[in-house]
C-alpha cells in the first residue's frame, strides 16, 4: 500500500518498480539484417526521412554493462530493454545461438546488478526475411512471431522477469502504413486495421506459447494519447470525437486481448487538444518535438485503464529536452499524476523513464534528446548524466513524491 504524509507527500509501495527503458535498434548499433537498416540504405536524396542512419547507435551491444551501471547509479531496481528479432532469428528456419548466448550474458549482467528485467520481443523492427514476406500484412505473421516468442521463452526462461510481446502496435501501424514514414512506407487507409489485428493475434499466440514454457508474466505495451476537448461551444461535439478516438486507438485493441495479459504496459508522452473537431497543439509547455506536456492526461489515461483490473506498468514516459530545461519538472509532475491515480485505486506497479540514454529516435535521427544521460557522439559515445539524472535517482531511492 502507498502512504500519504501531511496531505502533500506520496510514498510509493516498497515493491514499486523504478526503472529506465531502452530498445535494441535504438541503442545497440550495427544491426544490419532488419527492415530499418535496409530502409536507411535505400533513402533517396529527395526524401525527408530518415534524417540519419542509426549506425553504431550507443554501442550498447558492447557497452551494456556500462549502461546497467548507470541504471544502478540511478537507484533503479529494474531495466526495460528489448531483444532484436533479426539477431535471434536471421532467417525463417534459423536461430542464431551465438546471438542468443549474447543476450543471455546481457540479461545475466542485469540480474547480477539486482535489476529486474522487463524485455520487449518486438520494438518496431522486423527481420528482413519477415518483411520480404509482406511483414505484418501477411496472415502467417502471427505464427512466425509465435515461433520466435516461444524460442525466447525456452532460451531465456526466468532470466526475463516480465515478457513484453509487442511495443506500440498502433504507432507502428500508423507510421508505417498510414503516414508511410517508416518501413515498409505504405500509405493505405485499410491496411492499418489488418496490421493491428495481426499484431493482436500475434500477441495472443505468443502469450500462449510463452505460458506453455513457463508461468512467466506476459504483457503488451500500448501507447496511449489523451485527447482533450477544448473549452467552448464545440466542446460537446469534441468530447464525442475524443471518445471515438480513444475507443478506436485503445479499447478496440486492448479489450479483445485483456484475458491474454497478466499486465498492461503503458507508454504515455503527450495530450492532443481537440478543437472544432480538429486536432490542435496548444500554446502550452511543449517538448523539443512540439508535444504538449500534460501530466493530467496521464492520470486520466490511468483511470481509463482501471477497468481492466490488471496491474499497470508505465513502460515509457519521457520528454525530448536537449538542455534539460523541463525534464525535472516533467518527472515530478508525471509521478504526481501517477500518485493521484493510485490514490483513486489504479493498480500502478512501476514506472520506467524513457530513456536511460540519448538514442536513435527512429525517422527523426539523433537530434531529439530523451535521455537522462547525454551521449556525446563526437567523443567516443561518452555517457554524461544530466542534472535530471540525479533528481530521478533521488526519487528512486526515497520512493516518494510531492503531490
Q: Is residue 1 part of a domain?
A: no
Terminal Cα-to-Cα distance of the chain (whole angstroms): 17
Burial of 268 from C-beta contacts in 10 A (0-12 / 13-18 / 19+): buried
Handedness of CA 270, 194, 54, 112 (dihedral sign): positive
Alpha helices in 359-403 (DSSP H): 387-398
Express as a percent the part of the chain with pLDDT over 70: 94
Beta-sheet strands, E only, within 322-397: 348-354, 373-376, 382-385
CB of 330 closer than 8 Å to CB of 321: yes
Does the structure show a pLDDT above 70 at 283?
Answer: no
In-domain check, residue 231:
yes
Say which residues have a Cβ less than 8 Å from residue 281's Cβ, sequence separation at least 6: 272, 273, 290, 291, 292
Region 116-121: what's the mean pLDDT? 99
What's the pLDDT at 261?
98
- Give the residues across from 373 on adjacent strands: 357, 385
Would you give the distance in Å from CA 2 to the centre of its chain? Answer: 26
* Mean pLDDT value of segment 305-330: 98
Residue 11 in any domain: the answer is no
Distance CA(401)–CA(379), nearest Å, equals: 36
pLDDT band at 403 (very low <50, low <70, confident <90, very high): confident
What is the average per-residue pLDDT within 209-215?
99
Tell me which of 38-52, 145-159, 188-202 is least confident: 38-52
User: Do residues 121 and 152 lie in contact, with contact meaning Cβ atoms separated by under 8 Å?
Assistant: yes
Asked if pLDDT for residue 5 goes beyond 60, the answer is: no
The CA–CA distances, whole Å, from 190 to 18, 255, 325 equal: 39, 21, 41
pTM: 0.95
**Among residues 316, 361, 387, 402, which one is catalytic?**
316
CA distance 288 to 304: 28
Position 4 in a domain: no
Residue whose entry in the numeric block shows the C-alpha cell 530545461 = 325
Q: Is 48 exposed, middle or buried (0-12, 13-18, 19+ CB in 10 A)?
A: exposed
Residues comprising the chain, all counted = 403
Query: If you average pLDDT over residues 347-352, what whole number do you get?
Result: 99
Helices (H), 270-312: 295-305
Beta strands 162-167 and 78-82: pairing type?
unpaired
Cβ 276 vs Cβ 255: under 8 Å: no
User: 28 lies in which domain range?
Assistant: 16-402
Of 262, 258, 270, nearest in space to 295 by CA: 270
Is it the case that residue 210 has pLDDT exceeding 80? yes
What cell was used for 91? Answer: 532467417
Provide the CATH number for the domain around residue 198: 3.20.20.80
| β-strand partners of 390 | none
224-275: pLDDT as tens digits = 998 887 777 667 767 787 777 777 777 888 988 999 999 999 999 998 877 6
Q: In this structure, is the dihedral angle defined by the CA atoms of residues 8, 14, 20 and 24, taken in order, positive or negative?
A: negative
Residue 245 falls within a domain, yes or no?
yes
Is 316 in the active site? yes
Task: Write down the pLDDT at residue 317.
Answer: 99
Q: Cβ distance 258 to 301 under 8 Å? A: no
**Residue scoring higher pLDDT (290 or 331):** 331
Is 24 among the domain residues? Answer: yes
> Per the domain annotation, does 10 fall within a domain?
no
Number of domains making up the chain: 1
Nearest alpha-carbon partner for 258 in 214, 220, 213, 315: 220
108 part of a folded domain: yes
Amino acid at each position: 500500500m502507498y502512504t500519504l504524509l501531511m496531505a502533500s507527500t506520496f510514498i510509493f509501495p516498497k515493491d514499486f518498480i523504478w526503472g529506465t527503458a531502452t530498445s535494441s535498434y535504438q541503442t545497440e548499433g550495427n544491426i544490419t539484417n532488419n527492415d530499418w537498416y535496409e530502409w536507411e540504405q535505400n533513402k533517396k536524396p529527395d526524401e525527408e526521412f530518415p534524417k540519419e542512419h542509426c549506425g553504431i547507435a550507443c554501442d550498447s551491444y558492447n557497452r551494456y554493462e556500462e549502461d546497467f551501471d548507470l541504471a544502478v547509479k540511478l537507484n533503479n531496481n529494474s531495466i526495460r530493454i528489448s531483444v532484436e528479432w533479426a539477431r535471434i532469428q536471421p532467417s525463417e528456419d534459423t536461430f542464431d545461438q551465438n546471438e542468443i548466448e549474447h543476450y543471455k550474458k546481457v540479461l545475466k549482467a542485469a540480474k547480477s546488478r539486482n535489476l529486474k528485467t522487463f524485455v520487449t520481443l518486438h520494438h518496431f523492427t522486423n527481420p528482413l526475411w519477415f518483411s520480404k514476406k509482406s511483414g505484418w500484412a501477411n496472415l502467417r505473421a502471427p505464427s512466425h512471431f509465435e515461433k520466435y516468442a516461444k524460442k525466447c521463452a525456452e532460451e531465456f526462461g526466468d532470466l526475463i522477469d516480465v515478457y513484453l510481446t509487442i511495443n506500440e502496435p498502433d504507432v507502428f501501424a500508423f507510421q508505417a502504413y498510414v503516414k508511410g514514414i517508416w518501413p515498409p512506407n505504405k500509405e493505405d487507409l485499410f491496411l492499418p486495421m489488418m496490421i493491428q489485428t495481426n499484431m493482436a493475434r500475434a500477441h495472443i499466440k505468443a502469450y500462449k506459447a510463452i505460458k506453455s514454457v513457463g508461468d512467466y508474466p506476459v504483457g503488451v505495451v500500448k501507447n496511449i494519447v489523451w485527447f482533450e476537448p477544448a473549452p467552448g461551444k464545440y466542446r460537446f461535439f469534441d468530447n464525442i470525437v475524443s471518445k471515438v478516438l480513444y475507443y478506436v486507438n485503445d479499447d478496440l485493441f486492448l479489450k479483445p486481448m485483456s484475458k491474454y495479459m497478466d499486465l498492461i504496459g503503458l507508454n504515455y508522452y503527450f495530450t492532443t487538444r481537440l478543437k472544432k473537431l480538429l486536432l490542435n497543439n496548444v500554446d502550452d509547455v511543449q517538448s523539443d518535438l512540439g508535444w504538449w506536456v500534460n501530466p493530467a492526461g496521464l492520470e486520466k489515461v490511468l483511470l481509463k485503464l482501471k477497468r481492466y483490473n490488471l496491474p499497470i506498468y508505465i513502460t515509457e514516459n519521457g520528454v525530448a529536452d536537449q538542455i534539460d530545461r523541463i525534464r525535472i519538472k516533467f518527472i515530478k509532475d508525471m509521478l504526481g499524476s501517477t500518485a493521484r491515480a493510485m490514490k483513486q485505486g489504479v493498480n500502478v506497479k512501476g514506472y520506467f523513464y524513457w530513456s536511460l540514454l540519448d538514442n536513435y529516435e527512429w525517422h527523426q535521427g539523433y537530434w531529439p534528446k530523451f535521455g537522462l544521460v547525454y551521449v556525446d557522439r563526437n567523443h567516443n559515445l561518452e555517457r554524461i548524466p544530466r542534472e535530471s539524472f540525479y533528481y530521478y535517482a533521488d526519487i528512486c531511492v526515497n520512493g516518494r513524491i510531492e503531490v
